[in-house]
Structure formats: C-alpha cells, structure tokens
Amino acid sequence: MAAQGLRRSQPIGRRYGGRSPMSFEPLKGVRVLDLTSVVVGPVCTWRLSQYGAEVVKVESPEGDLMRGLGGLSPTGQHSGAYLHFNRGKRNICLDLKKKGAREAIEKLIASADVIVANMRPQALERLGLDAATVRARHPDKIYCLITGYGTDGPYSGLPTYDSVVQGATGMAGLMLARDGAPAYVPLLICDHVAGEIAAGAILAAVVERKSSGAGCSIEVPMFETMAAFVLQEHLAQQSFDPPVGPPGDLRLLSPHNKPIQTADGWISFTINTDPQVRAFLKATDRQELLDDPRFSSVAARAKNVAQWFEIRGAPLTSRTTEQWLQILRAADIAVQPCHTLDSLPRDPHLEAVGLIDFEEHPTEGRTAAIRSSIRFEDAYPARRSPAQPRGADTRGLLAELGYDADAIGALLSDGAAQATPQN
C-alpha cells in the first residue's frame, strides 16, 4: 500500500486567536560558520539557526553526503533528511584544496562569531582549520569540534558513524541483554544527541563571551557523550563501592518492556506509582492482584521486577487500541498508540499544533517543513528558509566579504568557488 500524503496543518495564527506568536531569536546577530556535513554537525547548526543565528554552510563541490544518502528526492539533490537538517542556512560552495578558496574561508572565519566543524582532527589540521590554528589568529572566536572520540584518548582520529557509536557505547548491547541479539536503534540517535549537546555548549560559550569577551574551544566527542548517557541509567547497582548488584536497569532490560498488542494494533503505556498500578489492575480486570504483596509497592515491584513486567506486558487483545486508549486515559494512565512511520505524521495532536507544514522549495517543489518543537511563552523559534541548493549564496557571501564582480568571477572560473546558475 502506498503511503498517504500528509495533510496541511492548521496555521499557527489560527491556534492563537488569529495572531501568530512572536519569533524567538536570542542569537540574532551571531554568525555561525558551518564546516559540518552528514548529521551530527548539521543538527547542531540547525538548532542554532532556530534561535536566530545566521548560519553559513560551507559545502565542497562534491556536496554533503546527506544530499543523496538520506533517501530519494525529485531531483536527486536534496534528500528529505538533508532538507530537515539544513533549514535556515546560507550556502557557499568552496573547494578548499585551492588557494583562492582558502583565502575566502579565512575571510569567513574573520566574519564569524562561532565556527562548528565535524571533520576528523587530522583533516582540519591539514587545512589549517583546526581549533588551535584558528584561535591563534582569532582568540575571540568560539570554536566547536564535534568528533567521534575525544582527542586525548587512544581512539582519537578514528573514523566513526552513528551505528559504530551505538555498538561501542553498549547501546546495541542493551538489545542483546533484553532480546538475545544486539541491534541498532533505527534512528541516528547518537548524531542527534551529540548535535543537540554541542548546540547547548555553544550557547553557554556565547553567554560567557558576552560577559567576558573571551572566545572558547569546545570539544564534543560522540563516544564519550553517548557512553555517559548509557551509564547514567545502566551503571545502576554498580554505581556503589562495593556494588550492590549487577549493572543494568532491570525494568528497561525486561523482555516484556515492549509495546502491548491490542485486538487491532499496539499501544505503549508506563505505570510506575502505586496509584497508577492499582488503576491499571482495575482497568484490565486483574483485581486479584491488588493485594498481592509482590506488587503492592514500588519497592516490592523492584524486587519482583521480572514477574511484574511479565504481567504488565501481557497482550490486551480483548479490546481495540482505541478502546484501550479510552479506558486507560480515564484511569489517568500514561498511554498512547504505538505509531508507525506512516501514522505518526497524522497524529491528531501533531496536526493540531502544526509540527509539520508545507512550503515551496526552489528545486524540489512542495516539501514538508518540520518546525521547532520548543516554545517560549508565546514565541516559537523563527520560521527559517528551506535548505538551499549547493552554492546558492556563493556570489552574495563573497560580495559581502569584499570581493568585487571580477574577483568573484575569477574564483568561479578557477573552480575555487561554485555557484548555482540562478545565483
């Protein structure tokens, strides 16, 4: 069955009494030089653009790998993933192997407040774009390197991708402990988390720079970052000296900790407090367990976690998903349908808040635009322009850097820079 098209969501203004909420742009006036590609770096700089920063994405003539790697597109130039990770960015195409491009990027660095890179340290050093070199010339700059592994450890400089980090940090091994075989989360979760953390670190450095005037070098290693995420939860009983039990949150590692099957689909729910458990047992006609001492308190359920999760995870095939949603919501239990990739964009709540809308892209036609999910009182981060074709802003940016028409033409003729035909 072919996937259905998305419905256009209600305009934001209609949900706020006919007025649109104000834009929230705390980084307005901050220029970010984006030397990143694929996912982790573009996620970071996308977040900064959402807060009002002017992001200038430097792209090689070969183009960001994610333009094609992220899936099909009408022209083959802008995958859906590329569009979503690169909204709100100006695009300049430079061949950094050429002298003219290196001179242009030095001017871009001088004009920027923040530089973000996710190339391997050795590659950055060869280009003279590493933090030490850049900040020796420009000590007031904020330079953020998002890397696979911290530069002080034995893995420094090794190549990595999201799935490699999932395996190295034990994330895939959590599935081994639960299901008997390791498995990757089918989402670039490490890239997203590390990218968002890098954006947060940059925000902190911007605040410090405003008060002290000092620049800063930031390093966000994916491996250490995600290892910390795993260990914060799953070091568990080994957090004590001596340990009080094996590692791992036994609730999360239970093979019964999965969506629950209904008569026509699946639901996801969680019950943690004693009142929630009692309400659940009544709603699912398991009154005989109300006085069972194994499940009567949080502490008792923790001691009998395997038996409790087996009971909690039993199928609920006597009623439909919608019927269970009504019953469990009436009992004030946290429950939602277990969506598929087809059904999620049409969730009634997401449609009501307008998470996804549509816009016209300069080459791809009508495309989905995912707005920021963060709201500040009546203000959302500003709506940003679609991801641009490679080199869409090359001429304009070079002119802003002081190049005249002849100098721009020379860079384009030499191949040091590229621009879209319409630019």
Mean pLDDT of 220-248: 96
pLDDT at 20 over 60: no
pLDDT at 13 over 80: no
* pLDDT digit string, tens, across residues 137-151: 999 999 999 999 999
20 vs 143, which has greater pLDDT? 143
Q: For residue 32, name the pLDDT band (cuts at 50, 70, 90).
A: very high
Which residue reads 């090689």 in tokens? Answer: 60
Of 3.30.1540.10, 3.90.850.10, 3.30.540.10, 3.20.20.150, the CATH number of 260-337 is: 3.30.1540.10
Q: For residue 378, name the pLDDT band (cuts at 50, 70, 90).
A: confident
pLDDT at 2 over 80: no
Mean pLDDT of 278-293: 95
Q: For residue 374, name the pLDDT band (cuts at 50, 70, 90).
A: confident
Q: For residue 19, name the pLDDT band (cuts at 50, 70, 90).
A: very low
Eight-class DSSP state of 415 = T
Contacts of 103 (CB under 8 A, 6+ apart): none
DSSP string, 244-308: SS-SS-TTTT-TT-SPEEBSSSEEEEE--SHHHHHHHHHHTT-GGGTT-TTSSSHHHHHHTHHHH
Query: What is the model's pTM?
Result: 0.92
Q: Give the lowest-confidence range in 77-81, 211-215, 370-374.
A: 370-374
Mean pLDDT of 11-38: 72
Q: Please classify residue 18 by burial: count the beta carbons closer than 10 Å to its beta carbon, then call 0-12 exposed, 13-18 middle and 19+ buried.
A: exposed
Residue type, 140: D
Q: Within 10 Å of residue 166's Cβ, how many Cβ atoms? A: 24
Q: What are the domain boundaries of the chain? A: 12-231+362-418, 260-337
Cα distance between residue 50 and residue 216, in whole Å:
22
Burial 183-209 (b: 16+ CB within 10 A, else e): ebeeebbbbbbbbbbbbebbbebbeeb
The domains spanning 12-231+362-418 and 260-337 adopt the same CATH topology: no
pLDDT of residue 21: 52
pLDDT at 10 over 70: no
Q: For residue 4, name the pLDDT band (cuts at 50, 70, 90).
A: low
The residues with which 418 forms a beta bridge, in sequence order, are: 93
Q: What average pLDDT does the chain have?
A: 93
Cα distance between residue 284 and residue 274, in whole Å:
15
Q: CA angle, corner 23, sides to 20 and 24, nearest 5?
A: 145
Mean pLDDT of 366-382: 84
* pLDDT digit string, tens, across residues 171-184: 999 999 999 999 99
Mean pLDDT of 309-332: 96
**Distance in Å from the first CA to the final CA of the chain:** 41
Q: For residue 55, name the pLDDT band (cuts at 50, 70, 90).
A: very high
The residues with which 260 forms a beta bridge, in sequence order, are: 267
Q: Give the lowest-confidence range in 12-21, 48-57, 188-197, 345-354.
A: 12-21
By C-alpha distance, which of 350, 351, 374 is closest to 50? 374
Calculate what percentage of the chain has a pLDDT beyond 70. Answer: 94
pLDDT of residue 7: 57
Q: Express the helix, strand and coil content of the chain in percent, nearest 5 each.
A: 40, 15, 45
Mean pLDDT of 186-196: 97
Class of domain 12-231+362-418: alpha beta
